[in-house]
Structures are given as C-alpha cells and as structure tokens.
Amino acid sequence: MGFYGDHILPWLVDRAMANDDLVDYRRRVVGAAYGRVLEIGIGSGLNLPFYGPDVTGVLGLEPSQGLIDRARHRASGSRRPVTFLHGSAESIPLENGSVDTVVTTWTLCSIPDVATALGEMRRVLRPGGELLFVEHGRAPEVGVVLWQDWLTPAWRPLAGGCHLNRPIRDLVQAAGFRVADLRTGYAPGPRPITFMYEGRARAA
C-alpha cells in the first residue's frame, strides 16, 4: 500500500473513527450482537468495549495490518476472546453458517467489491443469524447527492477507498438480505459524509 496506506492512513482512520458523535451508534448496533460474532473491518478495535454479555467471541476481519496492530492493543482488555483475521471481506476465511452475527460499522463504503462482500457475509451467517450495521452513504436529497458524486473520486484515495455515495439499503437487499429494521438520518458534520443507515437484516 505504500507509506501513506501502511502508516498514515491507519492513524487517520483511528482518529476519525474515535469521534464522540459515533458512540451512540456503536452502543446500539454493536451492543445488539450475540453469539459468535464476525466484525467486518474491525479497524483499530473501537467497537470492542461495546460488545455485551451475549457475545461468546469476536472474529475481527481487517485488511490493514497497521489497524490490526492497534486493535490487538485494545483487545488485551476485552472480556471475551478476540481473534484477528488479516484479509478481505470479498473472501471471508470462514465456513458456511459459522457465525451468529455479522457487524459492520462504517465499512461497506470502502470495500472494493461490496456486492461480493455482502454475499460472503450472508454465506457465513447461520440460518436466522443477523447482519447489524451502521454505515454512511447516499443521501435522499438531490443536492447532497450531487456533492457526494462530485467529491467521491477525490475522497476515495485519501480515505482508504471510501465511497460517499453508496445506497446502503439497496446493496444489502440486493445481496439477499431482508432489512428488518432501519433508521436513517444525518449525524453532526458535513452532509455529504454524514447520512447514516443504521439497522439489522436477515437472509431473505
């Protein structure tokens, strides 16, 4: 990835995602997880303190070794086992139906082949398991979408592949999930980067 991707970007991601405005989202989404959990894009481990007593273990998938190194430090204080998987969501190294919950928090924006990745998440979920997510993405207002579409080509290489304009609900449903609960709305900050999708889904 080069010096920027290996050293600067992990630090920037850690700082940006530590934003206090995101804590309530983490508490709701991550706190609803249960059983054996696969977290897609565990990053620097900021979600780890929010997993509740119903979680028996966490598998953290992450393509950035720099972020895994940061997450290992946070995992040392975790109350439940945490195992790190260095790899991509487009090819999850787990068996079919092997996890109870998949968690994604501000991750779907940056996966290159997001459709394949969501298909993989569905594959590894057991029957009745849930996908819990909070993601930023395509806004409902035309004016904001124009900004998202215009900014994304320049934003993507600076922000680890992040797309500002992905229609999260449509992508989840197209992968064969039934969205059982969904909240949308803006978090504090510039509108092109703060329209949030928060919800849960099961395989249709």
Supply angle C-alpha 94, 162, 60, rounded to 5: 25
The domain that holds 12 is classified in CATH as: 3.40.50.150
| Pair 39, 61: CB distance under 8 Å | yes
pLDDT attached to residue 116? 98
Distance, CA of 77 to CA of 173 (rounded, Å):
36
The boundaries of the domain holding residue 187 are: 2-203
66-108 pLDDT, tens per residue? 889 889 988 987 788 999 999 999 999 999 999 999 999 999 9
What's the structural domain count of the chain?
1
113-124 pLDDT, tens per residue? 999 999 999 999
pLDDT at 154 over 70: yes
What sign results for the dihedral spanned by CA atoms 12, 165, 26, 176?
A: negative
pTM of the model: 0.92
- DSSP secondary structure, 58-125, as one string: EEEEES-HHHHHHHHHHHTT-SS-EEEEES-TTS--S-TT-EEEEEEES-TTT-TTHHHHHHHHHHHE
